[in-house]
Amino acid sequence: MNWENFCEGIREIYEEIKDDVGGNLADYIPQLASADPNLFGISVTSLDGKVFNIGNTDTRFCIQSCSKPMIYAMILKEHGAEKVAQHIGREPSGKMFNSLDFNSENKPHNPLINAGAIMAASLVKPNERSDKRYDHIIKEWKRVLGSQEISFDNSVFLSERNTASRNYALSHLMMENGIFPNNSQIEDTLQLYFQSCSITMTTQELSKYAAILANSGKSLDDVECLIEPQIVKDVLCVMYSSGMYDYSGRWSYDIGIPAKSGVSGCIFAVIPNVCGISIFSPPLDNMGNSVK
Ligand code: GLN
């Protein structure tokens, strides 16, 4: 399909749904409840680096669960798939993203729900100091996106840390299940998890990340391998089966592309060998995905 026609199709969809006022802001993290519900932006990045933007595509938002595929990719690179699988499963959960539920081996179902992402955070440079571990994550985003603009929302971080009873409960259950790596500290692990959810970017940056995944991990000038193809494949597989929370089955059936959503109202979707798409609009449906 030709790029101009494709962008025109996106523009039509944008116009058609921009006045939809359905959905609710995530209010279990108080800072997210103060987001502007009218923000709406869509960015598309092609594999050769063309970008189409419509709406609020310069607005920075915290990426929340859209951080999870990146953390999963980082731990696959650091430890290899076999070691990671000793701590995290790869099946859809069929439950809400923050459900207190584990697989038959007492492990999190997959790395894209809260339990699995907390476990994944525990595997990021586990023997380093907490400042180095956060640095490692934000530098990885900057390296892959080739941008120093990637930032951090401290208010969201504090807000989330102060209202995290459920994520603490999940972590204590996993500690009791004995599946954290040796010497993991719940407090340090959760801080790193909240920090990675509080990283901020725009739809332009997130669509570039999606485009790099669509390009098998290669930079969009095709010069550099930014993420190994095998890791891209592993990440896209879990995004395809589990990226949209408890809507993942219907999403795969109806839409059929790997995607990930976050409770701030962002989604990024990967069309392999074609493009990356990112959408931001804060009101959520009752599964936790942006309505728009
Ligand atoms: N930080 C959020 C939480 O732990 C992430 C959830 C999400 O985006 N679905 O609840």
Q: Angle 191-71-54 (CA atoms, 0-180°, nearest 5)?
A: 100
Which residue out of 160, 199, 239, 260 has the highest number of ligand 1 atoms within 8 Å of its CB and is therefore the one to mutate? 160
Average pLDDT score over residue span 62-79: 98
Residues in contact with ligand 1 by the CB-under-6-Å rule are: 64-65, 97-98, 114, 160, 167, 197, 262-263, 288
- Asked if residue 218 has pLDDT above 90, the reply is yes
CB-count burial class (<10 Å; 0-12, 13-18, 19+) for 113: buried
In this prediction, residue 1 has a pLDDT band, given cuts at 50, 70 and 90, of: low
Distance, CA 98 to ligand 1 centroid (Å)? 8
In this prediction, residue 154 has a pLDDT band, given cuts at 50, 70 and 90, of: very high
How far apart are alpha carbons 245 and 237 in whole angstroms?
14
pLDDT, tens digit, 9 for 90 and up, residues 28-46: 999 999 999 999 999 999 9
List the beta bridge partners of residue 42: 54, 279
Distance, CA 6 to ligand 1 centroid (Å)? 32
Which residue out of 27, 95, 114, 264 has the highest number of ligand 1 atoms within 8 Å of its CB and is therefore the one to mutate? 114
The answer to whether 46 and 3 are in contact (CB under 8 A) is yes
Pairing state of beta strands 41-46 and 51-55? antiparallel
Tokens 């949209």 — which residue? 244
Distance, CA 8 to ligand 1 centroid (Å)? 33
- Asked if residue 97 has pLDDT above 70, the reply is yes
pLDDT, tens digit, 9 for 90 and up, residues 263-272: 999 999 999 9
Instruction: Kindly give the number of the ligand 1 atom that is closest to the alpha carbon of 262.
Output: 8
In this prediction, residue 243 has a pLDDT band, given cuts at 50, 70 and 90, of: very high
DSSP string, 155-201: HHHHHHHHT-HHHHHHHHHHHHHT-SPTT--HHHHHHHHHHHHTEEE
> Which of these, 108, 104, 80, lies nearest to 92 by C-alpha position?
108
